[in-house]
Structures are given as C-alpha cells and as structure tokens.
Structure 1
Amino acid sequence: MIRAYNPSPARCRPHSRLAPTPLRCSTGEEAYSVAIALLEFLGEESSAVPVQIFATDVSETAIEPARNGIYADSIASDLSPERLRRFFTKTDGKYRIAKVVRDLCVFARQDVTRDPPFSKLDLILCRNVLIYMGAVLQRKLMAVFHYALKPSGFLMLGGAETVGAQADLFAVIDKKHRIFVKRAIETPSNFQIPVEYNPSRSLNRGPRLPTEMHSTHSFQNEANRLILDRYGPPGVIVDENFQIVQFRGKTGFYLEPAPGDAAQSLNLLKMAREGLLHGLQTALYGARKADKPVRKQGLRVVSNGKGHEVDLHVIPLTVPGEERHFLVLFEDPTAATEVVPEVGGPPAPPASSDDERVKQLQEELAASREYLQSIIQDLEAANEELQSANEEILSSNEELQSTNEELDTAKEELQSTNEELNTVNEELHGRNEELSRVNSDLVNLLGCVEIAIVIVGSDLSIRRFTPMAEKVLNLIPTDIGRPISQIKPNIECPGLEKMIARVIDTVTIQEMNVRDSEGNWYALRIRPYKNVENRIDGAVLALFDIASRRHELELRQARDSSRAIVEMMRQPVLMLDGHLRVQAFNRPFADLFALSADNAIHRYVYDLDAGRWDIPPLHRLLDELLPRQSRCAEFLLEHEFVPARPMKLLVDGIRIDGGEPGSTIVVLAFQDAGGREPAARD
C-alpha cells in the first residue's frame, strides 16, 4: 500500500518530477498532481495497488476548495488534452477533478507542530514550509517526520530547504530535488513541538546573518573568551546526567579520562581525581535537588602524587526551551589568599603533615557521612514512592482490566457499526451512480429539446437552461448561478423578474406573448418548480415559437378543407400525399373501386387491393407526368381494378407542392371514358 502525506496542500507547489504538470500552488493541486502521477505510473495495475494520500493544512478555509477540486477553464493551456479527458470532467464551464483521482486523496485539518503525526507513510512532501520556522522547531519536525515514515520511506523538501543538523536521521537520494530517505536508526523519543513558531515574524525580518555567527566573530566576544580561558577558574558544563558537554580552561589538575568506553568516560563523576569524588558528588546532587548554587570548600585533590586544595562551585544553568545544565568551577584557594612575607621577618612555622592529613581525612569522613545520609534519605523517600507507585499500579491494573473488557465490547460494537457503515456506503455508492446517470440523462434530454427552457431557483438565480434558450434569452454557460435580473434577454418582456417572483409566491401559471429583437413572436409560459417533496423551489420559463405553430395550424386547416372538398364532389376523387400514400377519398370512389377506409387510408397506392393498382400506366402518371408537369387531364387508364369488371377511365391529376417536407398533395379525379378518346395522352 502506497501512502503519501502532504502537510500543506494549499500552500505548496508540486515538483515537475512528481507532478505531471506544474500546476499553480493553490487548492490542493499538489496532492492531486501526485495522485495523477501515480495513476499514470501504475497504469492498469492502479486498481490492484491501494494508494492513499493525506493532504493537510492548519486552515479549514484553505482545505475546503481543495476538497471541491474545481478549477477554471484556463488550466487547459497547462494540461495536455489527454490528461484533461482522463482526469477531469467539464461542468458548467469549469473543470472538476475526476472521481478516480479524488478518491485517492483525503483532506483534513492538522497542525504538524501540535497534533499527533501520521505513521507508516511511504512518502512525505513538505515543500516550502520549513523555511518559515526556526532551527529548534525544524529539528523537532525532522524527528516527527522520521517517526512517521516507514523504514524505507522518502522525504521531499523544497528547493531552499534541507534536513540541516538532522543528517543522522535522513540520507540524501537526490540532492538537486531535495529527496531524502529515512535512515535505519531509532527515532528520538523526545520530539515534543514547542510553541515558538511565528511565521509572520520570520517572513518580515528578511535575510540576515544569524546572531550566533555574528557574535562568534565579534572581537569583543573573542577577547572575553581569551580572558576567561587565561584568568578565569577552570570548569566544565554538564547535563542532568552529569555528562560533560563542554570543557572550560585547563581541568587536568582535577579531571582525568576514565578507562573503558569513550562515550561513558565523559561522566564527570568517573573523571574526578582522587579526593574530589565525594565532595563533587554531594555538590552535584544538592544543586540538582535544590536547583540552587552549591559551594564546597577545603577539598583536597591528589594530582601526580601531590595534594592540592580546591574550592568547588556548582551553579545550575537554565535556558528556556532547553534541558537544565550545571556549571562546575574549580578554584584554587591559595591563589586568592597568598600573601607576600615581609622582608626580614621570622619565617612561619611549618605545618605538621600529620595534622593536615588527619584534618583531611576527618573532612572526607564528614562528607562521606553527609553523602551517605542524603543517600539513605533519598532511598527511604524512593522506597515510599515505590510503595505508593506499586499500589497505584495495582489499582491501575484493575482499571486497565475493566477498561480492556470495555474495549472488547466497544470493539464488537465498532465491528457491527463498521459492517453497517459498509452497507450504507454501498447503498450510497449505488445511489451516487444512479444520480450520475439521472444527471446525464437530464443533460442529454435538455440538449435534445427544441424549446427554450430556463429553470430558476427560489432566489431567482439560473440553475439550468436548454441550448435553445442560449439564443433566445442571450445566455452563456457561465450565467449559471447568476440572478436572472442581471441577464439582458433578447425578448421584449419588461417586469420579467416580478412575474417570476409572483409565480413563486402565488403558485400560479403566467402566460403572455413576447417578441424578440428580430420580430419573431413567442408564447412565454412561467410555471412553479416543485421538488420531489412537492414544495415550491423556483420557477420554469418556457418559450414556444408561435409562428411555427401557426403555420402547422394553417397547414392542418388546409388539409381538412381539402378533405371536405373531396367528400363533397360527386365524381370519384382520390387524395395522396407526397409519398403516394392514400390520405382521403370520397364515397363515389369507394363505390366504384369497392374499397373501404380501413384497408385503404395511409396505404401505398400501388398496394391497394392486394397490389391490383400496381400497373405501368399508373406509374407513368404518378412517377413521371405529374412530378414533371404538376397537372394532367384525361389520362386514359384501362385495367380490371375490380375482378370481372374491366374499366376504361379518364383521369385528371394535379400535384401541389407546399414548399416544406410532408406538405405535397396529389389529387386524382376519375370518370368513365364512355367510348370517348382522351383529349391528350401526355
């Protein structure tokens, strides 16, 4: 499973090596770019490899546009047509990220400096974020990223960023593009994030040299350092565990390296020379416990077989945001109290070495007793704390057991809830697909309707319209969502907005005739829009072309008049349409040819009476003469149209072309030849 993490989707620019195109740095485009790159790389195996991308930001406002995944149509200039067609869908003049890409990304609000980190990630993209943080916060975040990645996980930073002093946590894979891999070492256990991050101050202060570098190269600081090293008392700085972190001055008279592991030999208590251990140990423990300076005088340290007196000072050092340290100073009391003897004066009596030795031993014994007493007190206090801690642990164990039982019960409930959620998810997925199909059907249906239709909401904003409405009402795709009062339609309809509001308020249908700028008349009908709950949620505007309806009405009236005229004639008359199908005939025609309306109307003329009318002379009349001459008189037809009844008929024909498809009429009038010859054959 591939899992990627982007701690700031709304503020980072995707890199050209990972993203398929350098999109603009906003609205989560980096997360979508990584998803597109993975889909293109995996190809047909994308469905078999699970991919999850977590895109986070400290601002919920910045995440919301990223969740929508809607971009302006201007991205078409940055993306290839193939990627646009595969990974985007065009909706209302904008591009929406495809569902196959959107399903790979999860957008959430997270503060990487305070919230718990993700875990077991394959890739972390944190580009152009660390440059706004201080060195302390950067060091803490590197530990967080090291914890969140898998053993083989990758970290990608911005072009101006690096892992800095945390090179022991990450190894360089691609220096140019700032790609690092996690080293196989244990993650530091202490990576709490201090609240010392002020991006605005970091942004406004501009580039400058660090204060530490400036002070290090200051002549004044260099002079101070030389004076302290030459004339100040020697000493060391140790941490809470008494490990030496810095030597100050010459400490060889008081300390010497201990045999064994070099990492363990820097413990101050192990490096103390003979005679210094007990006093140093007492002073260090006292300073750590009371958090106050401790001074020990009259200690005697043995160096190179000779004894020297030394005064010991242990001073706690406290720096905000750092662990507590201690400054240990070794002072020579003889250097401060040495007096030049007077010339000619009597020499001072030499001190007895045995007395000094006894005094030293007594002092060491008193220090040892004091140290042992403090150890005994600490041991008793620790024993009491251990007893109380043991009792708390026993009670906590009982609580944990009950909590474990509750967790087991909650786990079963969560499993059942998860099954229910999976069922609901499947139902929602099916409904989503059904909704997508219905939406597609609606779009295609509106595209095929040859009527100008506009749907507006209850706030009079445009929701949908048909292609026919674009021309009639002067609409464009970007007008969706705009109030209809801001549209200047091509029709003359003052007070359109008030009419729509009246329809919504009164739930009544409004109709009126309007004219467009070209002089065409339309019938405007406004009716309420009802949703599935039968509630009024807007209005529907429909424009019908009155001219085309009037033409159809006139054509229908003309055909009805023709049929009436045919019915009134005493001579047998047959009326056909342009495709030579029977439209009407009168009673004399039905009596002459023994035909009824059921087996003749709307039938092909050559198929009448089981094909008895399919004769060459009739073909010549209908297929050749009338299409060419439009009129023919006394055309002779000799045929046995009715069994056992030979007929000799004269036919007068006329063909009327209406100028539009389906408006052509052919009228044939029959009369008995009665022994007469036709007036004309052609």
Structure 2
Amino acid sequence: MTFAETDPEFENLLIYLRQSRGFDFTGYKRSTLMRRVSKRMQLLTIENFEEYLDYLEVHPEEFNYLLNTILINVTTFFRDLAAWKYIAEEILPNLIRNKKTSDQIRIWSAGCASGEEAYTLAILMVEILGVEEFRQRVKIYATDVDEDALNQARLATYSAKDVQTVPDELRQKYFEIVGNRYVFRQDLRRSVIFGRHDLLQDAPISRLDLLVSRNTLMYFNSETQGRILARFHFGLNDPGYLFLGKAEMLLMHSSLFTPLDLKNRIFTKVSSVNIRDRLLIMANSVDEESSGRLSRNLRLRDMGFDTAPIAQILIDFNGTLVMMNEQARTLFALSRKDLARPFQDLEISYRPVELRSLIEEAYSERRPVSLTNVERYLSNTEMQYLDVQITPLQETDTSFLGVSIAFHDVTRYIKLQDALQRSQQELETTNEELQSTNEELETTNEELQSTNEELETTNEELQSTNEELETMNEELQSTNEELQTINRELSDRTTELNRINIFMSSILGSLQAGIVVIDSSFNISTWNYMVEDLWGLRIDEVLGQSIFSLDIGLPVEQLRSPIRDSLSRKKQFQEMILDATNRRGRQIKCYLAITPLLGIEMQGVILMMVDVEKVSSMISTQEMEERREQD
C-alpha cells in the first residue's frame, strides 16, 4: 500500500493527537507512520483518516491501542551479538580506564522498549567491574515514550523465549527462575533507572559516558534526526561513545559524531571547546593574588564594549535585552531603563528592519545573518544606511546564550558608492568580455555544485531506504511474534478439545447402555458401541443422518412425537418399551429413555436404549453372585 507524501486528513489527525494528548508525531517518517496507523484502522474496519479521527474523539481509550501499534517494541538481549562483543571487549574497558576509581559511570539507553538492552548493559558492566563496584559507580538510565513497555521493563520479568539469546552461563548468573519466568537479579536492578522521556520535547540526560539508541532514529525524518543527535551530542561527555542500530549511519552529521567502528555502528563525540569553556578554565586556575587582575580585565572588557564605535546590543535566548553600548543608545534613543525589557516590545525590534525573524533564522541555521544597506529614514529628506549583522552566541554546539546584533553606519560609503557607480558606468562596456567569462565560470561552478547536491541527495535517499527496510523488518518481526502467540493459543485449545473428546468417548464407551445424541434437525451426532451392537450399524454409517431415515429393527417413527416434545422442553423425561428386532433378527423388548440436552447452547435430545431381557439377565446373574457370596 502506498501513501502520499502529504495527506491533509492525516496531518489533521497528527494535529489532533498533539493538541489532545501532547504527543508530537510530526517528526516521524510519514510512510512508516501512515503504515502503522493504517494497520490499526484495518482492525477497526475504518476506511480513511478522517473517520479514524472521529473515532478517536468518541473513544479516547483508542489512543493507547494506537500508541502501542505505532511504537514497535522489537528488542532482545544481546541483539546483534558481534556489536555487543565489540562493546564488551573494546568500548567499556576503554571507558573505565579513562575514569578514576571514584568516578561515576553514566549510561543512557534511549528508546529502551521492554528493557532488554538496558539489562544487557548491566550484565556487561558487572562482568567487568564486579557486583559491588557496579552498584557503587554505575547508573544506567533507560527511557522510552511507551508507558506499557516501561512497566514491563520495570518488572524485569521475561519468558524463556525472551532470554534464549543470553548465554547459558550469564543466564544462570543474572536471572532467577520464578515459576516459568526469568527475573533479573533485584540487587542489580536498582542501578537501572527507568523513566518516560520524549527525545524531541524533553531535555537530554547529561554527563554521559555511553549512549545507546538502537534503531530509534530510523523512525524519524532527517530534520528530526538532526535535532535528536544535537541533544545526544550535548548529553555526552568529551569524549563519549554513541551506539546506534545497524540501519543508522550518521553520514550527514559528521560535525557531531565521527565513526569509531562503522560496521558495528559505534561513534565518538566530536570535541567542541568554546570561549565560555576556556574562560571557566582560566577562572578556576587563578589564585587569590591574580583574582583582582581578572576582575579589572572583565571591567575593561565591559568598557571596551560600551565605547565601541559600532552600535551593538545583546539579547539573551529568552528574548530579553541584556546589554547595549553607548552607540546603540544614541542611535536608537534607548536608555538603561530598557535593559531587561522584552526585545519584542522595543521599536528597534521591527524598525528599521524586522529583527525577530532574523534572530530565529540565526538560531535555526546556527550562523550569523547579515543585511546590508538597510534604509533608515531620519527625516523627510535625509536617509541613513546600516549594515546589520545578527550573530548567535553559542555556549555549546547545541545551546545558545543569545544573539549579538551590530549596526554599522555605512551611509558615507553608500554615498561614495553612488559616485563610483556613476563613474563605473563608463567602464561597463570594456568589462563585458570579462563579465561573460565570469558568467561561464559561474555556470560551470553551478553545474558542479548541482552534481554534488544530486550525489548527496542520492546518498540520503539510499540511507532513508535502508532505514525504511529495517523498520519494515521490525514490523514483520512484531507481526510474526503476534502470529506465534495466536498459534500457541490455538494449539492449546486444540489439545484441550482433544482431551475432552477422548474423555467423552471414554464415558460413552463405558456405559452399558446404548446412547444416541441427535440435534434439533433429528440428525445423529453421537452413536456409541452399545447401539452398534443392538442394530448393527457403525457410527461412520449413521453420523449426520436423520434418525428417522435409518432402516433398523427399532420402530423409529414412534419416537418422532416424543423427540419433538423433548426438543421443545414440554417434557423433561420420557421412557417407554418398544417391540424391536436386534441385529441378529431376534425379537426383543427395547427400553428407551428420552431427555433433552441441558445447560448448553446446542439443542438436542439424548436417547438411551437397552435390551430389557439382557438387562434382566444381568440383574439375575448379579443377584445369584450376591447370594453365593452370602452363603
């Protein structure tokens, strides 16, 4: 089934989920997301997304089922064994070597599902550190957005199938068998902390040494992946390790992470030492004697900013005006009373140019934004020209302190430029050939640039296809597990039904009387061996046949009215003796008892029949035996 890239009805559904439930799916890949939602809709026989939105509004409990369908919780212990072997033999020992013996080790399993990978990390760390040091030094944070999966992870209880990928030695060492379930050791469980966390909306866990996020990024689009990876970069120590799934390559994010072992999808954080970090190092290293000099240097820096020849203002990340120099106060008629005011409330935020949108652009693109020759009207006849530059001030690669906005008065240069333009018009004719050559070079450069962009696009498409295939593989695995569960249930029911059938056959075979069960259409459904002995017909010859169609020595037509009375429940019990001829041609007196089937949904009648003479003979024989015993 194929889906359109943009479907208004589907987008409305996502908006409703975000507004009513606070869960933002907009960063997920549309093809995967539509496929998962459509799977849930098929179970409800709903045709389109608009109808499904209406269904959600009427049945709010449906959101939980939808969430469980979208969030594919496919994970196992030691998934991709070769990668975990590399983690155990290379990454974890190296991580521990770079730590002091008293330092804490912090690990984050992001998108932990039902907890198998978090407990795998715990097992490997205990194997290296030992139980006591593990409990004292290691914290493993395991997060997911699926509360049901987290509840299962907190129980730390798994089936025999779940732990079959754990080596026998480790399974015996780290799991206790309770009933038919395997429970992870409680004393180690306390070092694994589970919690709900949204990678897009919640702040990342910080000061991490290792971050494990396997086959989680592949569900998000490229832009959202970049936002999440920036948060991962912020959360990791320098250096720190990132362990991803086999479908996640990070080809487009080399500025944040570099491959350590691309085959096993293990990356290291790209170091980023900024000005703030260096100042902190300097501040921490000075002694009391030099602290005064540092204070004077800071005041000197502030005075230098205030007396700079270019107008400049500083706005923090919350949009508050925090600094402005003398040139800015003079140029825009600002005063110190304007400090700490929201920037959007000041005239400078929109005149002479709209600055708020440019600030957002600088934040989003993580680079300075410049405008040249901005016109500012001083009077009806006088015009001022300004060059404006908005520079984002970054504390780290992912965190902004604010922006610096500089206004450079270029009015004089513009006027000189106008004069030069008039004189340059005379030179334009001679520059035509040079311009033509330059245009040819630019065309060639654009073609090369276009080719490079096409190659990058192709690479991204291949990566996206790989992630999509891995996603579908996990969906198929999840569906296969569901089918296996259903198959086991059907097998158990079949076994129980067979046992009941054997039990019933044993009962019918043990009775010393003929038993016939007929349904509401007078067709035979049960015919035991005593009836076979009376009339000479086997069960396979009469099963499903009407009792009134049988050619036997019993006058079955005389039974029609009593059977109907029993079916209609007019009479609960009837008995009679009929003259009949058994299979040997011998005349007999046949005793019949007719009762309705009670207590079940199926309507029918039970006929019990015996040869009166044979029963009398058996009774006489029994009485003689009893007399002999008394004598």
- TM-score (structure 1 length as normaliser): 0.28
Answer 1 or 2: higher relative contact order, Cα 8 Å, separation at least 6.
2
Specify the structure having the higher radius of gyration (Cα). 1
Higher helix content, 1 or 2: 2
- TM-score (structure 2 length as normaliser): 0.31
